[in-house]
Structure 1
Amino acid sequence: MWPVLWAAARTYAPYITFPVALVVGAVGYHMEWFIRGTPKPTVEEQSIFDRREERALQEATGKDLTQVVSLKEKLEFTPKAVLNRNRPEKS
């Protein structure tokens, strides 16, 4: 008799275990929310992009944005190319 029961359990295991697992999962899900209670609304934080934009606006508030450094002045401070590092300097 046992071999017949084991063969039947092996054959019909998915049809038996799925509804049992579904019921156990649903009961556990509802018990968890019953114990925890309703979730409290969370305060949304600003994204990093929004914070960066706010900071840039605050920094630019007191500045005259029409006065910029010319490209000729910027070129003096650019690093030399890696390939020209070992070449003698031209005078």
Structure 2
Amino acid sequence: MWPIIMAFARSYAVYIAWPVAAVVGFVGYNFESVIRKDKNTPWKVKSIQEERDERILKDVSNKDCTEVDSLKEKRFVPKTILGRNDS
């Protein structure tokens, strides 16, 4: 009996799993909208990239460009490989 049930489940798994997943997704979506306090998603006026650019410009404008580190001290070289930013 079990081999027949397993063969049926293997053959019709898509037809069984898809409606179950659709019902679970529908219920979860509606449950989330019920428990969420703020119904409207807050939208940013400026994008993340614009905020980052403004922050970098403000940092650069506040810094004195005539004061630079000595190249002999090598502060720009990380001490370990973990300190490098390879992104």
> Structure 1 length normalisation: TM-score?
0.46
Find the structure with the greater CA-based Rg.
1
Greater length-normalized contact order (CA 8 Å, ≥ 6 residues apart):
2
> Structure 2 length normalisation: TM-score?
0.47
